[in-house]
Structure 1
């Protein structure tokens, strides 16, 4: 199941998100529109993904991921078909309404809910597999999309990608179930007759009991400081990562960095993020995932400082190593920590609200940091990015302390 989800997540991210960058150039000519006008379609989709995650989270807690992910794959495919046939900006935006809603149903959030339900002891390993495999979505689908555009044109290329996405509905429908009990097992795949072993992790496991009192339910979960601090940490970290992803190349070019090195640096963040997830999972087994994540996020702030202090090209290399290592760790840490903070019956609902907060950070990052660059320069903008990562690290540690104090 984990490997099937990993493959479908890779396809969904590749088709619904990463491929957009490759289609921008031919769409500019087809629509006679600016990059900003076309990018507004993706921004609209991202905003709707965050809002949709709240509704999808409630569905997941009640009914599971099987049919929402199946329907999301089909809706996503239909939306990509509509994208391929759009003749003006209004039609493009309408198509991306569907892309955004489909993304809420098929990207990381429902997959996190599945893993949280099906795994306890092996949850970190399952999250690692999912996020590492899906981390190659851009590596696979950016060149694939370009090859298809060169071979058959951008509209036909989108139709082919829509077909690949539609095929993901099949494993979702056939393999996913609401809970292990549907197949006569318990989390981690052990037979029902065997007693469940405690998970091999330093974090406590959240369970439901009659003593939960006021803390039962999604509303009660938000009264827990650990959940609130984790949510704010997620938003700040997503904001910082999105800002760097958008503005790093322009900054490096302004400093006289060769275009080739600037492009490699931007691509290196994605590659290092995969390595960072592996490092996080290995070290978390010994030191705890919250502390290790906070350390790696702090490393991002150090990387930002060295980007301005060291000479080039050493500054760029060190920055990519430090910032890239922490670039994707929140995607493992957030669901892993949340699974220990809240009962399984409300995990997806709370996670959906956290996804909305994280998505809000991603949406506002380009504009907010862009305004700082225009008004105060790159130094102030990157200082703000470093401040966000340091605050996120402090909040991660605060969430850990709050959880242990309960």
Structure 2
């Protein structure tokens, strides 16, 4: 029975909020499962994989780097697919494709088939991970509500490594890596597929809402004028490339870079543990207090954290306190970066072409990030850790400057 004492618009709004909450939680779960099985598990399984095939670890990670690059280059195609057909269909197909790719990976017999299977895994992952989920939330919630929803979802997604590193380690003690990947394939079919079908039931491609936008042009927040769009896109890509280069350099070389700077391995590993909780904490704070901040302001805060983190590392010598401050601030910065990756393009350009736009940004930034670990290693080897850290601090400062040149949409008079 419907309570007539509650106004119909309020009941509808309340129902929409609950529906959106279900979507956020459901997609948050699929991001934990997706990142856990398609990305984080590899680091745990790699030693057994390399031993099984009889090749050095560098070959396995080389295959992963190639696969990640190919996955990033597939981003624009995946984004256009989502824009045209809707996130529900694409993410459901992505769950099936990811399951099939993990089965192929478990069946690989040599370097060629292993590399090809890993490439397929990372290409299919762009159909189910953050960029696809961001587009799905925008199709369910619209531009206005999507920012908070993206923050909430990334808060949940931040637990992927927390759950899947120990889970993968446990499974790998009970069975071989091939069986682990088969179990992960079943997770995509048994959990991710039905969740995508259920929680994205209200997702509509932007093209389906064109008539509604013409009838109510104020339905979404204002976006940039077309004349400003190209300039904004160039500076935005520059921002994500600069910050991504720094994150990628340290994420790959965290322990070795700190050791070469004079820290012990125990200190490097110990402070590295602080990054995960820092990412989750800042996403929670952004969810509670950041609703009134423009996403470009959030991006600026992220860059400031990164600059200060590197300054603390340079100033600390080999002091443990400096390393702790660096790890916490680095985690805070990286935690916000996942949010602004989805919210800045949405608030600048709107929902039309959102998926394809995220894909183009991802393709370029992934190409840059794939070079980062190699360049960073060269800098440390030839110029020393202090110079390498200073160069990263300069890139972080440049990222802050690029945000200044991005125009903001005009508010309606």
* Shorter-chain TM-score range: 0.7 to 0.9
Question: TM-score, with normalisation over the residues of structure 1?
Answer: 0.87
The residue number in structure 1 matching 2:233 is 227
The residue number in structure 2 matching 1:126 is 149
1:165 aligns with 2:183: no
CA distance in 2, matches of 1:43, 1:255: 25
1:243 aligns with 2:266: no
Q: How far does residue 283 in structure 1 lie from its aligned partner after superposition?
A: 4.5
Q: How far does residue 255 in structure 1 lie from its aligned partner after superposition?
A: 4.0
CA distance in 2, matches of 1:40, 1:221: 40
The residue number in structure 2 matching 1:58 is 80
- Extract unaligned runs of 5+ from structure 1: 187-194
Q: How far does residue 404 in structure 1 lie from its aligned partner after superposition?
A: 4.6
Q: How far does residue 328 in structure 1 lie from its aligned partner after superposition?
A: 2.4
| Equivalent in 271, 274, 279 of residue 273 of structure 1 | 279
Q: How far does residue 280 in structure 1 lie from its aligned partner after superposition?
A: 3.4
The residue number in structure 1 matching 2:303 is 297
Q: How far does residue 61 in structure 1 lie from its aligned partner after superposition?
A: 1.3
The residue number in structure 1 matching 2:7 is none
CA contact (8 A) 1:221 1:350 kept: no
Most deviating of 8-17 and 287-296: 287-296
CA distance 1:227–1:404, change in 2 (3 Å): farther
CA distance 1:281–1:173, change in 2 (3 Å): closer
Q: How far does residue 319 in structure 1 lie from its aligned partner after superposition?
A: 0.6
The residue number in structure 1 matching 2:360 is 353
1:10 aligns with 2:32: yes
1:78 aligns with 2:100: yes
The residue number in structure 2 matching 1:387 is 394
Q: How far does residue 142 in structure 1 lie from its aligned partner after superposition?
A: 0.8
| Equivalent in 130, 134, 140 of residue 112 of structure 1 | 134
| Equivalent in 1, 23, 29 of residue 45 of structure 2 | 23
CA distance 1:313–1:176, change in 2 (3 Å): same
- Extract unaligned runs of 5+ from structure 2: 1-22, 211-215
Residues 329-359 of structure 1: CA distance to partner in whole angstroms, max 9, x if unpaired? 1221132121121132211111110111221
Residues 104-161 of structure 1: CA distance to partner in whole angstroms, max 9, x if unpaired? 1111111111112222332222111111111111111111111000011222112111
| Equivalent in 131, 137, 144 of residue 160 of structure 2 | 137
| Equivalent in 146, 150, 154 of residue 169 of structure 2 | 146
CA distance 1:6–1:59, change in 2 (3 Å): same
1:318 aligns with 2:325: yes
CA RMSD of aligned residues (A): 2.7
CA contact (8 A) 2:152 2:287 kept: no
CA distance in 1, matches of 2:410, 2:234: 15
Paired residues, what number? 382
SS of equivalent to 1:328: helix
CA contact (8 A) 1:276 1:329 kept: yes
CA contact (8 A) 1:273 1:329 kept: yes
The residue number in structure 2 matching 1:174 is 198
CA contact (8 A) 1:226 1:398 kept: yes
The residue number in structure 2 matching 1:342 is 349
CA contact (8 A) 2:71 2:119 kept: no
CA contact (8 A) 1:124 1:336 kept: yes
Residues 278-311 of structure 1: CA distance to partner in whole angstroms, max 9, x if unpaired? 3334453344231232123122112112112125
SS of equivalent to 2:353: helix
CA contact (8 A) 2:48 2:177 kept: yes
CA distance 1:104–1:180, change in 2 (3 Å): closer
SS of equivalent to 2:106: helix
